[in-house]
Amino acid sequence: MDKKEIIQYLDQFMDYSSYLLWGDTVDDIAPITDEAKLIENFNNKYVFVAFNRSGSTKKYENFHNRHSAGDSKLMKTIKEKSEFKGSFITDVFPNDDCITPKASDLKKFFAKEPKLEKKYFSEFITRINPLIMNGAIVIAVGEECFKYLSKYKCRCLNNKLYKIPHFSSSKSYIERYKALDKILEKIK
């Protein structure tokens, strides 16, 4: 699939996914939604994956909430680490019944609903599959997401799983930059 075909495929998931693209100014957290700009800036080398949504979102707005300190940290980090700009970002579990600010709540939910967990994880793999098939590296956002993907790692990830600190954590920008730099070093 070429970039345009991948973007058209991913469009069906934009109610809870997005791209690591923002406006031109330092504080402009609004998502870029114009297809021509998306194609021009799309980076299919990486897929960023968080564990679950913490709130409801509108199309293209997940990870672009102006009231979220974590989303602002994400924007600042990626704008300064341009190698990752334009990457697709999604949650493993973006489903409406998985919205919670605490991963532990989601784990309790899945303990009662293991078939639903398996179904949702399968949907996640389907969502990112075109990127993985093109060789994309998966970057787990946060320890919980990394542990989960490591534990249930499917063959399609082909040892291309890395992690960075979650943007809602108290970790500094420097720690996030170092984590991203380590990924770049390892894939050279």
- Return the pLDDT at 111: 92
Provide the pairing of β-strand 18-19 with 46-52. unpaired
Give whole-number Cα distances, 124 to 38, 48, 66, 67, 152, in Å: 22, 12, 26, 26, 12
The model's pTM is 0.86
Mean pLDDT, rounded, for 74-79? 74
- Return the pLDDT at 81: 74
Give whole-number Cα distances, 95 to 52, 90, 116, 140, 175, in Å: 8, 11, 10, 18, 30
Mean pLDDT, rounded, for 55-64? 68
What's the pLDDT band for 59 if we cut at 50, 70, 90? Answer: confident
- Return the pLDDT at 52: 85
Mean pLDDT, rounded, for 137-150? 87
What's the pLDDT band for 100 if we cut at 50, 70, 90? Answer: confident
Give the tokens for residue 126.
Answer: 């389907």
In the predicted structure, residue 64 carries a pLDDT above the cut 60: no
- Return the pLDDT at 31: 78
